[in-house]
A and B are shown apart, each in its own frame.
Chain A
Amino acid sequence: MPDVDVLVVGAGPAGAVAAWHAKQAAPGLDVLLLERDRAIGAPVRCAEGVGDAGLREFANPDGADWVSRRITDVIFQAPDDTEVVLANCGLGWVLDRTRFDAFLAAQAAAEGATVLVGAEATAMARNGDDRWHVRVKQRGVDEVYRARVVIGADGVETMVGRWAGLDTRVPSRDMESCAQYVLQGIDFNPNAIYLQFSNAIAPGGYAWIFPKAVGVANVGLGLVSLKTDGRNARQYLDSWIARRFPTGARTGYTVGGVIVHTTINKTYADGVLVAGDAAHMINPLSGGGITNAMKAGRLAGRVAAEAICAGDTSERRLAAYHQAWMELLGEDHLKYYRIKHALENVDDESFNNLARTVNKIAAEKRTIGRVFAHALIKHPQLIPVAARFFV
């Protein structure tokens, strides 16, 4: 039975950064990073947008081959297609997750972590020896690893949390059902992300266009099924695309869930930490989770390494991770969550009116600050909408 110090389940941004930083904090530890799929980063279940500042804490996007597109503008679209253009309002990136996730895993490997692909954790249990016994299936063969700390970075399914006895369930109203195509040969501003808010197009969420290249974009939407007319996310997306981009070639397709909740009440147990989507660490207002996952992974990796070095992997010790996360971002997410629910009561006509009145501000004066100020006066509940992506 192979022994490791830290076993990380899931090689997305949370898991790869956790393995990387655990090894960096304590180079003498054995760190194992498992990925269920055959290739790290694929299939992509993501719109791939990320803000500049958070990304730079981990990697330099300038000239990187894991970047698809540099973004400078945000274009909000009202339900009636009225556009509010915010030029040069901040910097962001649309990533190529197939390359970006592999890049992060390579960082972990460069620190000395072992990376296994096509390796699925299928069960884990405590056997009275202060270790987790994790059953891993690879190429049809089961092997049990003993680990001092297991970091669950296994995404929306969050099985590690479940096995550790944590409550990782989500109420229906806090689950966004998403569908997305990669569309080619479509006409849009390739330096802008587009966000369209409408109860008819994406009830309880929004529709997006995130550029991958000139004429190529991730085009998708997220919705809350309780608010729909009975159609599923793919059907809503097909309707939207039929109207907006009837001639676009659909060269890729993905679906998935985004948990727009707040961090689970307990992200730790004896010898277990849960990070990223698995711990509901998504910005509930924007649905963005990449940098959150990396920041949580960094905390989890460090806390796990320090706990092992101190000879204490009890949940009392590991609770420091939860506290650090809540101070870093978890408390903010509680606020965003309340704002999100306030916004749900804004109807399509109010969004249309807001777009038209904001457009009376001259384009060169239409800074994000002025739009905020305007929104504050006219529709105070709308302020955070403009910040959905870049906050």
Chain B
Amino acid sequence: MRRVTPDTIAVVDLAVCDRCGLCLPLCPPEAIHLELNVLTVDRAACTGCEKCVGPCPVGALAMVAYA
């Protein structure tokens, strides 16, 4: 099944991110990874649901246009 490309996807500002890991279990497609102290959002897997954005305690996640 072809995945529908979302209009917006989540991105992390690593200068703000505290690496607490709170957003990982909130992500329905498990598109957020924390490895070797760097948080990444897999843009191919992010569905643009925004569930990670509000709960970030420091506001390090935001939605941006997919393109």
Contacts and interface: CB of A to CB of B under 8 A. Distances in A.
Dominant secondary structure at the A interface: mixed
Contact of B36 (A45, A120, A234): A120
B51 to A, nearest CB: 5
- For chain A, give the interface size range: 20 to 34
A175 B22 contact: yes
Nearest to A259: B25
Contacts of A169: 25-28, 30
A59 interface: no
A331 to B, nearest CB: 22
Given A168-B25, A172-B54, A234-B57, A122 B20 contact: no
A199 B28 CA distance: 28
A204 B27 CA distance: 21
Nearest to A261: B25
Interface string A150-192: 0000011111001000001110100101110000000000000
Given A120-B36, A137-B36, A259-B25, A45 B20 contact: yes
Nearest to B50: A172
Contact of B57 (A137, A157, A233): A233
Interface string B1-44: 00000000000000000101111111110100011100000000
Dominant secondary structure at the B interface: loop
B26 A175 contact: yes
A156 B57 contact: no
Contacts of B67: none
Q: Which of A155, A157, A234 has the most CB of B within 10 A?
A: A157
A367 interface: no
Contacts of A254: 18, 20
Interface string A271-309: 000000000000000000000000000000000000000
Interface stretch (A89-97, A98-106, A224-232): A224-232
A112 interface: no
Q: Which of A120, A158, A169 has the most CB of B within 10 A?
A: A169
Contact of A178 (B36, B54, B57): B57
A120 B20 CA distance: 15
A213 interface: no
- For chain B, give the interface size range: 20 to 34
Contacts of A162: 30
A256 interface: yes
B56 interface: yes
A107 B1 CA distance: 51
B65 interface: no
A80 to B, nearest CB: 26
Interface string A226-248: 10100011110000000000000
A159 B27 CA distance: 13
A256 B18 CA distance: 8
Contacts of B28: 169
A158 B25 contact: yes
A51 interface: no
Contacts of B54: 172, 225-226, 228, 232
A255 interface: yes
A54 interface: no
A157 B36 contact: no
B26 A232 contact: no
Contact of A257 (B22, B35, B59): B22
A353 B44 CA distance: 52
Given A256-B20, A257-B57, 16 more contacts: A45-B20, A120-B36, A156-B21, A158-B25, A172-B54, A175-B25, A175-B26, A178-B57, A232-B57, A235-B59, A255-B20, A256-B18, A256-B21, A256-B57, A257-B25, A257-B55
7 contacts: A156-B20, A156-B22, A162-B30, A172-B54, A228-B54, A234-B57, A257-B25
Interface of B: 18, 20-28, 30, 34-36, 51, 54-59
Nearest 3 pairs of A and B residues by beta carbon: A257-B22, A255-B57, A225-B54
Interface of A: 45, 120, 122, 137, 155-159, 162, 168-170, 172, 175, 177-179, 225-226, 228, 232-235, 254-257, 259
